[in-house]
Amino acid sequence: MKKTFLIIISSLIFSCSVTKENSLNRKNLEMAQSFLDNIISNPEKAQSLLHKDFTFAWMGIIEQGGKIWNRENLFDEYFKNIIPEILPNGIVLKTVDSISDENGVAIIQEGDAEGKNGEYDNKYVWIFKMKDGLIYSIREYNSDILVATQLYDYKLVNVK
């Protein structure tokens, strides 16, 4: 009888912790998706989801690559000046997959846009880290070749 009771109690404790963990995973995913959905259309909402020590970086190796942006200048400079210059007609991002846990989220998206130098349909991976119930950091990964040729003025040269 004691063994059965211990098994039941252990199962209940495990089940409660899994449910709490799943709830946090879902909350993190919803917060990350809300950030992406609002960065252009509702920047105040997006900014409200960010930790006071937040950082963002596009992980490319050309212009702006690896530069660390904070909670303020991400919206005041990056999304207000840099992005509209290279994507004058905006961009439509579609989430195609995601994974989350209690510490963070990864979201995979496909983009549809016209860059300043032509069609720009890149694929993205956004890595979100969470802290204190807010987004602590984001790292953006995509094709440097598309960014270089379609958004900036790089030309590909065949070197033999």
Residue 103 inside a domain? The answer is yes
Query: Any idea which residue has 């596009």 for tokens?
Result: 58
- Residue 72: what pLDDT? 92
CA 53 remoteness from chain centre: 16
What is the span of the domain harbouring residue 97?
2-151
9-20 in b/e form (b: 16+ CB < 10 A) is eeeeeeeeeeee
- Residue 103: what pLDDT? 95
Residue 16 inside a domain? The answer is yes
**For the domain that residue 40 is a member of, what is the CATH number?**
3.10.450.50
Q: Strand, coil or helix: what is 59?
A: coil
- Residue 17: what pLDDT? 44
Which structure tokens are listed for 74? 């991400």
Residue 160 inside a domain? The answer is no
Which structure tokens are listed for 57? 């970086």
Residue 127 inside a domain? The answer is yes
Which run of H or of E encompasses 158? none
Q: Which residues of the chain have pLDDT under 50?
A: 12, 14-20
Per-residue model confidence as pLDDT tens digits over 112-140: 999 888 899 999 999 999 999 999 999 99
* Counted domains in the chain: 1
Residue 159 inside a domain? The answer is no
Tally of CB atoms within 10 A around 35: 21
Q: Strand, coil or helix: what is 124?
A: strand
Residue 82 inside a domain? The answer is yes
What distance, in Å, lies between the first and last C-alpha atoms of the chain? 78
Residue 156 inside a domain? The answer is no
Which structure tokens are listed for 127? 């890595």
Residue 43 inside a domain? The answer is yes
Q: What is the pTM of this model?
A: 0.82
